[in-house]
């Protein structure tokens, strides 16, 4: 993801992006990432553009680490169970947020949200 900022951010810096939604009363979404590049914005006198790589969840990292280490079947199954449980929890939260969003959208707004991949 590319961000436009007023000031530069150090490459390698760990960041947490907070996405806030003005259309409805949804809680902010926080996403962890790492700045992978940052340079002056050629279209703004004082602005900068920075690239952010989203970091995987702890469960995804643990599963990948187990795979890379050629862990035992029991360890792999445990890591997969934690990963799947975390994904299920996130999917349930997403489903709930989408249902709440649908309650406040007009049919046209919902159609736009569906066509853009939000719903």
What does pLDDT average to over the chain?
A: 87
**pLDDT, greater one: 94 or 50:** 50
For position 115, what pLDDT does the model report? 85
pLDDT tens track for 12-51: 998 888 887 776 667 777 788 899 999 998 888 788 999 9
How sure is the predictor about 1, in pLDDT bands with cuts at 50, 70 and 90? confident
* H/E element, 84: helix 73-104
For position 85, what pLDDT does the model report? 94
10-40 burial: b if 16+ Cβ within 10 Å, else e: eeeeebeeeeeeeeeebeeeeeebebeebee
| Per-domain boundaries in the chain | 1-55
């Amino acid at each position: 993801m590319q961000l436009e900022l007023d000031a530069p951010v150090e490459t390698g810096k760990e960041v947490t992006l907070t996405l806030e939604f003005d259309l409805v009363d949804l809680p902010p979404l926080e996403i962890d990432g790492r700045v992978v590049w940052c340079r002056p914005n050629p279209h703004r006198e004082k602005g900068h553009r920075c690239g952010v790589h989203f970091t995987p969840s702890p469960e995804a990292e643990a599963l990948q680490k187990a795979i890379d280490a050629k862990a035992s079947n029991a360890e792999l199954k445990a890591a997969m169970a934690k990963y799947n449980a975390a994904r299920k929890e996130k999917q349930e939260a997403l489903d709930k947020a989408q249902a709440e969003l649908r309650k406040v959208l007009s049919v046209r707004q919902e159609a736009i949200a569906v066509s853009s991949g939000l719903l």
